[in-house]
Each structure stands twice: as C-alpha cells, then as structure tokens.
Structure 1
Amino acid sequence: MHSDPIVPKGAAYFPLETDAPTRQYAFVLVPGFTLLAFSSAVDPLRIANQLSQKPLYRWQVLSETGEPVASSSGISICVNQRIAPLPRATRLFVCSGNPPQAATAPAIVSMVQRHARFGGMVGGICTGAIALAKAGLLNDRAFTLHWENQPAFCETFPELRPTTALFEGAGAVMTCGGGAAATDMMLSIIEQDHGAEFAGIVSDMCLRKVMVGPRPEQRSSTAILLQSRNPGLLAVVGLMNSHIEDPLSLPELAERAGYSRRHIERMFLSVLGETPGNYYRGLRLDRARNLLSTTDMSLLDVATACGFGSVAHFSKSFKSRFGFPPTKFDRVVSGFRGV
C-alpha cells in the first residue's frame, strides 16, 4: 500500500521542468532506530516535493509487524504496513540504530535479499548496513555505518571493512553513517534525479549551505579532538589508533613516526598531560568498552581484540580506568554475533 504523495505548500518555489514518474521509497524501521537519521532521510524528499510543487517522491514506512516502532529516543513512529515484497522500482532503506542486532531480524534480511535479487535498490541508514551485510550485499563494495558501531561490526564481519565516509554507494546499494549524513545521502540522490541546482536549493532549505558530498569523514579529525596540530603527536596517535589489537612498543612507535622516544614522551606530557603508554592504554580500553556495549564477545575475545595478553591484566586495567571490573559492566545493548 503506497500512500499518496505529500506535496506541502510553502513560500519557496523552484520551477522544475520534469515529466519523470514519481519515485517510490520504503523505509523499514527497526526497533531502536535513530529518529534523527530517519527524519534526515525523509525530509529532503518532502522538501523536494514542496519546492517543485510536484509529486517527485512518494514514501511509505514499514515495520516487521506493522505496528508502531519505538526509536532510540523512546518516540514511536506509526507505519503504513508490515514488511512485504515491494515493486522493483522502490528504493528500500533499512533504518536502524541501537541495538544494532535488531537489523538482522530474519524477516528483514529476507526482504532485503529478495528486493536486491529482483533488481531493486537497497540501502542502510545508521546501522542498517548490518542488514545488508547479513544479506551478503556488501562484499567487494564500499559501504559505511555509524562510527560508534564500526568496531563491533568489524569483529562480527571480519571480511568486511566499512569506510569512515558520511555515505557510500550509488545505484543498487547505498549506506550512510546516520544522523545528518542521511540528508547528505538523499541530497546526492536528488541531484542525480533532478540536477545540482535543484539539489542545492533543497540543501539550502535544510539550512545546509554546502552540499558536502560523501568523502568527508564522520568524525572530527584527530587534530581537532586533541586540539593540537603538532605533526609528531598526530602521527604517533594515528599509529596507536591503527594498532589497537597489536599494540606497538614505544621504541616501535618512535621508529615508525621518525622521532626519538624522548621527544615523543615530551610531546605527550606537554600537550596531553600523560605518558604515551597511559594514553595508548586508554585508547585500547575505550575500544574494549565499546565492544562490551555493542557485542556479546567474551572477555577473552575483547581482551585479545584490544591488545591485552590476559583477561586478568585486561580486567585490572579496565577497573583502574572505569572504576569497576568488566564483569560488572552493564551490557544492556547485546551484540549481533551469531544472529
């Protein structure tokens, strides 16, 4: 069941000459989906209709049961119907959030597989890429999902590596990191459909002065996060972040970064107020906390993934940083391993 196209009235108007048929969209809401990401994907379509005063886009909202779906903010959204086979021309997006494993519900994965098999376009918003991965649609393809969930995703799907881009893909498969990146992804689609000038006006209506495109990364740069432009410090921290599972010793860091050990120690103490070893250990423990909150990995697996040689050493370090041992960590958000 497709609802009628929504073409609201508005003061702004862009006379768009087109006889293209109305493009169909379907958004599958998964329990715990991110409300910001969902609305950021839908509203550019609404704005496009409003600006042109034409039914350029029509959308429907689906859920596995046909019942309203609660977002991660506790706000529930009513849907048009339960999931069902869609016409091939429909662009299907899975909208997910936390818990990420909700996107791997068998009925949702089957729907995605079927739609792709019959030539339909499929996409993932926020952690919706997990449904696409489970459906086997991300092999040998650039894709992304929210940075918060990427460590757990890589542990669960070790053969797949998401990018840090805001969104990825064109044509048959598209993914975005969620949040406001959903708007950037939809603007890119509107540009493909109706041109850069029209998409630019839609972007202005979203109060996004510049259409950023897919390549900017989801997270602020290390330089901004550390509030430092010291090239030596940034080089060493970059090495640390890329060697979480297999930590490098300080001499190895010094050799690869091209600085003396003593110089690195002085940089960390003067800029960050702690030793390189303490900072590195903090990065690894923060990754461990992420994995504990987003997966059902064992303590041994988490310790190994974060470069600790034993559970005992990991537990002691974890308690020192967070004030309680990992065995007491409230794992409210269970993982999606083995689903």
Structure 2
Amino acid sequence: MTDSAPLVPLGAAFFPVKTPGETRKYAFLLVPGFTLLAFSSAVEPLRIANQLSQQPLYQWRLLSEEGQAVASSSGISVCTDDDLAALPRDTRLFVCSGNPASAAAAPPVVAMVSRHARFGGTVGGICTGAVALAEAGLLANTPFTLHWENQPAFCEAFPDLSPSPTMFEIAPRVMTCGGGAASTDMMIALIAADHGAEFAAMVSEMCLRKVMVGVDAAQRSALSVLIRSRNPGLIAMVARMKAHLEDPLPLTELARLSGYSRRHVERMFLSVLGETPGDFYRGLRLDHARNLLSTTDMPLIEVAVACGFGSVAHLSRSFRARFGIAPTKFSRGLRGGPEPAQMRRSTSRPKQPES
C-alpha cells in the first residue's frame, strides 16, 4: 500500500504549530451504507488542521473491501484509495458505518480490524463502526459508544457489552463515537492531545463550533428537555421507566420509589405529559419494539419479551394501536426484498412474563 502525499490546502486563517512532529496517519474503512455526515465530520478537522498550520500534521486514506467506490446511506458514493491490505502499525484505522449496522460485521472488515489490532495498531468505530470492533472481540475491557439509535439492537446482539451514552470514547487503542457531530468532537479531542488545546480550539472555530468538546458529553438531550419538564420527581420516574422496559414496574412501585402517592403520579403525568403513566410507559416500550424490529432480525416473541409484553398478541395489538400497522407488516415493509442480514444476536434471552 503506497501512501500519497499529505494534503495541505491553502486558506486565509493561520495558526502556527511550532513542533508538529511526524505526520499522523489515519485510514477510514467505508462500508456500504456508511453515514456521509459522520465520515466527513471526522475527515474535515484533519484537513482544517493541515490548512491552519500549513504543515502536513495529518494524512488520511480511504479503504473499502474491494477498493471501489462505496455508496453512503444518502446514496452518494465516495471513491476509495485501496482495498483491505495491511496497514502500517502507526495508522489509526476507523470503520465508518451506518445502517444497516451489520455491514460493519462483514467478515473481511472484521478480519482487517482484528489484524490491525493484533499487530499493535489503534482501531476505531464511527457511528455504528463499533459493531466491527465488537465482532473482533476488542470492546470487552474498554469504554466505547455508537449512535444512540443503534444501541438497543447492539445490546441485544452483544448482551455482555455496554455502550456509553457519550458522544465519543477515547482509549489508548480503541476510539469510538456516535457519528454526526460527535465525529468532529472526537477528532478535535485527538488534535488537542496531539497539538494542544489552543490549536484544537482554532480548529473548532473553523468548524463553526463555538463550544469546545467536553461541555456537553451526552449524545442525547437531557431528559428534562425531551419531556418538557424540570420536575425532578417526574424526570426520575421516566428514567426508571426507561431502565425497566423489559421488566415493567407497576405504577404503585414507581410511585413508592419516587415518594409520591399513586394519585399524585397520575395527576403529574396528565398535567405535564397529557398521558396517563400507563399510556406513557407503554409508549416507551412500543418505541423500543419498533427500534428492535428496525435494526435486528429478532423473532417477534423475543421482541415482545424484550419490551415487557407477555405475548406476541399483546404486542401486536398495542403496536397496531400506536403505529397503525401490525409489527409483522412493519418488519416486512422495512425489508422490502433481499438485503444484508441485520445485526445478529449472540445470546438468547430467557422469556419473562409481563409485570
């Protein structure tokens, strides 16, 4: 594999880097359906760093399984530089994935990641790229993350692994981010480690990001924003509901844990959220079921159990009432014909009755 010369574009802004050191190398492995936003958000800070410093601080190349162009989730194809040949150990290899997340689990991709890690290289995942790292067995003892939309399916497929809710995670040999703007945040954090916080702040300014990384570490908005309330009791109850989708807590137990009476809880939900606690809780579980049907190939009975429904019939009735379509038709509509296999499950889940 032959490296091309690092790209150092011209620009009006300038920020000198007095001791740049050796050029740091990156490789981005694009898999079909990768998220264009997440990929470009990772590459552009490197380009901006070179442009600001007018030095080859960073060098990058694009890889694909066959060395050909790869179609992103938006239908835009990106040309690549090479196939999955071995990389120098000092290259940071990132798997760029999207939907279906299972594309990152393709055997050649997993083999590439495994080989690079085995010979001392640093590996990473962008958006759903963490799936490749999980398949390669590289996430057991390190913090990691992936896009929040894909975390429920990931946890079903890899029940022994727990992704974090943060924008990105940087460990010595494994780096992951949720994609989108998180890709930029992760790369700016790496640039800060390489060349200092002041230079990284200037890169952030060039990206029109006025807030430096670390100020808002979570991928998703605060629960208080999502439910349009700052009531601590209500927020705590919704958090407990979200933590108990598979084993729903009775309303009496939710009220007891929160220190309120059942009647007070019912009034609070109706006045703030416009729903009874039971309807709201059922909605959370049905949204989780929709996510699992969208991103996994789990049988309907397993989806029902994972979402706290005692039977497929109960899930089906509730699903149709909320979404206007039966879960079986919803699942078939998503597939619409042959497509790559969805994320597999590595461990079966024991069935539990609904509370």
**TMscore range, shorter length:** over 0.9
Any residues of structure 2 matched to 1:233-312 within 5 Å, and which?
233-312=234-313
Cα separation, 1, equivalents of 2:275 and 2:22: 61
Query: In the alignment, which residue of structure 2 is the partner of 1:60?
Result: 61
Query: In the alignment, which residue of structure 2 is the partner of 1:39?
Result: 40
Q: Is the 8 A contact 1:236 1:253 kept in 2?
A: yes
Q: Is the 8 A contact 1:185 1:214 kept in 2?
A: no
Query: In the alignment, which residue of structure 2 is the partner of 1:154?
Result: 155
Deviation at 1:226, TM superposition (A): 1.1
Q: Is the 8 A contact 1:264 1:276 kept in 2?
A: yes
Cα separation, 2, equivalents of 1:326 and 1:170: 40
Q: Is the 8 A contact 2:189 2:213 kept in 1?
A: no
Distance 1:218 1:19, change over 3 A: closer
Matched residue SS, 1:293: helix
Query: In the alignment, which residue of structure 1 is the partner of 2:130?
Result: 129
Deviations 1:100-147 (A, max 9, x none): 000001011011001001110000000000000000000021100000
Q: Is the 8 A contact 1:168 1:175 kept in 2?
A: yes
Query: In the alignment, which residue of structure 2 is the partner of 1:117?
Result: 118
Amino acid across the alignment from 1:136: G
Give the counterpart of 1:337 among 337, 341, 344: 344
Matched residue SS, 1:127: coil
Amino acid across the alignment from 2:177: C
Q: After TM superposition, where is structure 1 displaced by more than 4 Å over at least 4 residues in a row?
A: none
Query: In the alignment, which residue of structure 1 is the partner of 2:314?
Result: 313
Cα separation, 2, equivalents of 1:317 and 1:170: 42
Deviations 1:284-335 (A, max 9, x none): 0000000000000000000000000011111111111111111111233852
Unaligned 5+ runs, structure 2: 347-355
Amino acid across the alignment from 2:38: A
Cα separation, 2, equivalents of 1:163 and 1:257: 26
Cα separation, 1, equivalents of 2:298 and 2:208: 42
Cα separation, 2, equivalents of 1:27 and 1:140: 24
Query: In the alignment, which residue of structure 2 is the partner of 1:92?
Result: 93
Deviation at 1:214, TM superposition (A): 8.2
Amino acid across the alignment from 1:160: L
Q: With structure 1 as the length reference, what TM-score do the two structures score?
A: 0.98
Matched residue SS, 1:119: coil
Any residues of structure 2 matched to 1:185-224 within 5 Å, and which?
185-213=186-214, 216-224=217-225
Cα separation, 1, equivalents of 2:259 and 2:217: 28
Distance 1:86 1:271, change over 3 A: same
Cα separation, 2, equivalents of 1:210 and 1:222: 21
Query: In the alignment, which residue of structure 2 is the partner of 1:11?
Result: 12
Query: In the alignment, which residue of structure 1 is the partner of 2:144?
Result: 143
Deviations 1:238-268 (A, max 9, x none): 1100000000000010011111110100001
Larger mean CA deviation between 212-221 and 278-287 belongs to: 212-221
Q: CA RMSD in A?
A: 1.2
Deviation at 1:2, TM superposition (A): 1.7
Q: With structure 2 as the length reference, what TM-score do the two structures score?
A: 0.94
Matched residue SS, 2:129: helix
Amino acid across the alignment from 1:67: Q
Cα separation, 2, equivalents of 1:214 and 1:307: 36
Q: Is the 8 A contact 2:296 2:344 kept in 1?
A: yes
